[in-house]
Amino acid sequence: LASPKEMLIIAEEIANPVYIAAEMLAQAEQDSMAAAILLTTDFQLAVKVNREVELQLQNHPRRLLTEKAIAHYGLIVVVDTLDTAAELSNQFAPEHLKLEVAQPWELLESIRHAGAIFLGSSTPKAVGDYLAGPNHNLPTSGAARYTSALGVETFMKHSSLIEYSPTALYKIADALQVLAEAEGLHSHAESVRLQTEENFDD
């Protein structure tokens, strides 16, 4: 079963604090235990987002629930670099990750664990919720470190297909035999030797 919802935002100074606050509240309004986290390299942005969250909460139709989520599971952290933010994000492995940076595709190369990733300020999480069509059965509670979104393929059986040409086998024969002998598996090594000798007998 899925845990409470979570969103982590990585932002630098170019990000609009109004948009960031709105994204955090969009996450928080779903569940009083929803986590909305901002990692930013810019202290001033952190201050502005904090202020903007308070402003947007004032007339929020789900204020009590949203305020509770922000109070208990909302977090704004200032980090030294985007690399640090990416590493913290990978450790958290969020259900939703938003990259509000100048070069989101470049930062994406450092991201290893996230359920769904939203790139840039023109891609609010609501796009994924309602129209873009990504799988929305996303891993929560750090499960994105070892699994992907739940889908039909999760329940399908797959077979691995392996085929080497005689030449390709010959090129790796020595390495295979060394590994097999190191494990004490003589017949593994012998099966490779016999097949390569037959095709490449000097």
Indicate which residues carry an active-site annotation: 95-96
User: Strand, helix or coil at 81?
Assistant: coil
Contact 142, 93 (CB under 8 A): yes
Query: Residue 86 and residue 97: Cα distance in Å, rounded?
Result: 10
What residues contact 9, with CB distance under 8 A and at least 6 apart? Answer: 20, 23, 24, 36, 37, 38, 39, 97, 98, 100
Closest CA to 124 of 18, 14, 4, 13: 18
